[in-house]
Chains A and B, each alone.
Chain A
Amino acid sequence: MELIRSSQTAATKSRNVTTAPDSSRAERSKDHWSQLLERVASHQDRAAFHELFEHFGPQIKYYAISNGIAHQAEELVQEVMISIWRRASTYDWRKAAASTWIFTIARNQRIDMLRKIQRGSAEMAIETEDLWQIPGDDEKDPVPSLHRIIAERRIRDSFEHLPQEQLTVLKQVYLEHKSHQAVAEDLDIPLGTVKSRVRLALGKLKVILQDQDL
């Protein structure tokens, strides 16, 4: 029960401080992050890189801590930032927002780190990026960028209005690396309830579109 309470408090806090003007500012700054990435890619711009670090570094550190790898938290920040530096030229703003691209890199580095700990010195049979792709690495989709940007704005706006219980489940899955089964055990609710909260949340955010046919 302790865990529910603390994550609810955290979630409430994050909802209170995020107001509508903030979200439009985030909207503008999202473009800003893409521009910074492009500056890193085109002429190894260290000032741009530093600004990315200032913004995303603390987020990635928090991500590591909430994922239970507090001891390697700064190591994760370091790995992710180096990866951003090295692959900035593969970033394509039409395929993903800069923050989304960075999220997938952080996720993969976290998985990679855990896999290495789990495996010890044994060789990994398959690369993490063969299992979890970074957006833009596959050239299959001519992603309609406007469509993506509108959909993202919608998610961002409706995110503020998610009921607490749905937000708690999403947070546990995304930020605490829990399977739906583990969330169910944690919150002492049936797995079916967890899944229906996820479905309701994704429906509200319109992440899942009935007629989506990209």
Chain B
Amino acid sequence: MSTHHPDEVLLMEYSAGTLSEPMALCMRMHLDRCSHCRGQLDMLNSLGAIMLDHSQQASRVSDDLFDNIVAQIDSEPAPREAETEKPAHDSPLERLLGSDLQELPWKRQLADVSVYDLSDRFPGDERVTLQKLCAGGRAPSHSHHGSEATLVLTGAFADANGVFSKGDFVILDQHHDHQPVALHGEDCITLSVMDAPVKLTGRLTRLLNPFIR
């Protein structure tokens, strides 16, 4: 059971399906290990259904739509979708990578820190990376520009805010000055999604908004 969770606002965006693909991946990986958030998500999904049910403007559909649907069902007999052969990897991230985490071509950046960049697997401007802090290793002190969602995949790291272990989800931002240290025994690998740089397309509100600089 994780001890660090996404907040309810993020869970709601996940439930509504408005999160970006990399953020959704972080959430999915957390949910896989967190029954608490799965319970919350069930409730949020119910809320989505209730809202849809309450939208009184439900739109009339064409007269022949049902016949078209039935015709399509009949033209593709006994399809078995999404349950063909068993995938080679259990985790969605490993299915994406097509490889185990340890076998990736990691790029060493510092003595204790390696990085694998997978931004180009996703649309959008977010920077998506896997970061590996070797067992017992220490990263230099740093703070964050914008915000960075981090999900712990293996091992654990500690900083001034606590210990973050497998399945934990945390948002690091400019207020979060940290110097992570990996716990001994296992490399700490995290999936991290960094905000795209803010684009100046908004209205005046953006300038007044304390969350956007």
B105 touches A (CB below 8 Å) = no
Give which listed residue, A77, A97, A118, A132, contacts B46 with CB less than 8 A.
A97
A189 and chain B: residue at smallest CB distance: B205
The dominant DSSP class at the A interface is helix
Known interface pairs A126-B25, A214-B35; A83-B81 also in contact (CB < 8 Å): yes
Min CB gap B98→A, angstroms: 10
Total A-B pairs, Cβ < 8 A = 222
Known interface pairs A174-B47, A202-B8; A87-B69 also in contact (CB < 8 Å): no
B68 and chain A: residue at smallest CB distance: A78
Give which listed residue, B13, B81, B210, contacts A173 with CB less than 8 A.
B13
Chain A residues lying within 8 Å of B17, measured Cβ to Cβ, are: 107-108, 110-111, 132, 177
Known interface pairs A174-B16, A178-B18; A159-B69 also in contact (CB < 8 Å): no
Asked whether, in the complex, the Cβ of B59 is within 8 Å of the Cβ of A87, the reply is no
Asked whether, in the complex, the Cβ of B40 is within 8 Å of the Cβ of A207, the reply is yes
Give which listed residue, A57, A66, A155, contacts B43 with CB less than 8 A.
A155
Provide the A125-169 mask, 1 if CB < 8 A to any CB of B, else 0: 111011111010010110100001001100110010000000000
Known interface pairs A184-B209, A199-B8, A202-B12; A96-B45 also in contact (CB < 8 Å): yes
- Chain B residues within 8 Å of chain A by Cβ, number: 68
Chain B residues lying within 8 Å of A95, measured Cβ to Cβ, are: 42
Asked whether, in the complex, the Cβ of B72 is within 8 Å of the Cβ of A82, the reply is yes
Asked whether, in the complex, the Cβ of A198 is within 8 Å of the Cβ of B21, the reply is no
Chain B residues lying within 8 Å of A156, measured Cβ to Cβ, are: 50
Asked whether, in the complex, the Cβ of B51 is within 8 Å of the Cβ of A208, the reply is no
Min CB gap A168→B, angstroms: 12
Known interface pairs A18-B54, A173-B16, A212-B40; A130-B96 also in contact (CB < 8 Å): yes
Known interface pairs A66-B55, A126-B95, A141-B35; A103-B82 also in contact (CB < 8 Å): no
Q: How many angstroms from the CA of A18 to the CA of B52 in the assembled complex?
A: 13
Residues of chain A having any CB pair with chain B under 8 Å? 10, 13-15, 17-18, 26, 46, 50, 53, 57-59, 61-63, 65-66, 73-74, 77-78, 81-83, 85-87, 95-97, 99-100, 102-104, 106-108, 110-111, 115, 118-119, 125-127, 129-133, 135, 138, 140-141, 143, 148, 151-152, 155-156, 159, 170-171, 173-175, 177-180, 184-185, 188-192, 195, 198-199, 202, 205, 207-209, 212-214
